[in-house]
């Protein structure tokens, strides 16, 4: 069964700390992996998209890596800020289908 798991479920850090969010998936045959941010009660905002042929993507203070062989991706957030507080979701599109499967998310709280 194709599944996406995110650990930890929740994380609280002081402002300025660098942090890593983890995503694991059960099948290495993927088209792409996408990281999203979701504020309470809102829609999803795309942060980074990594295609199957890529190893990492960077945008500002964010860096996402992809290791298909181990079924893992990490989202690195540098110098965290209170405005980074949100739920971060990992989503994987596996080959052999068209749907994208989401993890349950990591709820991040950055304390000022």
Stretch touching other proteins by CB under 8 A, among 12-20, 21-29, 36-44, 64-72: 36-44
Q: Which H helix or E strand runs over 25?
A: strand 19-25
- Minimum distance from residue 78 beta carbon to other proteins (Å): 22
Q: How far apart are CA 31 and CA 28, in angstroms?
A: 9
Q: Is residue 26 at the binding interface for other proteins, with CB under 8 A as the rule? A: no
Q: Which of residues 78, 97, 109, 111 is near other proteins by CB under 8 A?
A: 97
Cβ distance to other proteins smaller for residue 14 or 60:
60
41 CB burial (10 A radius; 0-12, 13-18, 19+): exposed
């Amino acid at each position: 069964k194709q599944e996406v798991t995110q650990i930890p479920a929740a994380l609280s850090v002081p402002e300025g700390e660098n942090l890593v969010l983890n995503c694991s998936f059960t099948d290495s045959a993927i088209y792409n992996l996408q990281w999203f941010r979701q504020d309470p009660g809102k829609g999803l905002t795309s942060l980074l998209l990594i295609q199957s042929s890529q190893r990492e993507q960077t945008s500002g203070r964010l860096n996402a890596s992809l290791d298909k062989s181990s079924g893992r991706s990490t989202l690195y957030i540098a110098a965290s800020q209170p405005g980074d507080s949100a739920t971060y979701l990992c989503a994987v599109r596996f080959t052999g289908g068209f749907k994208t499967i989401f993890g349950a998310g990591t709820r991040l709280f950055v304390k000022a």
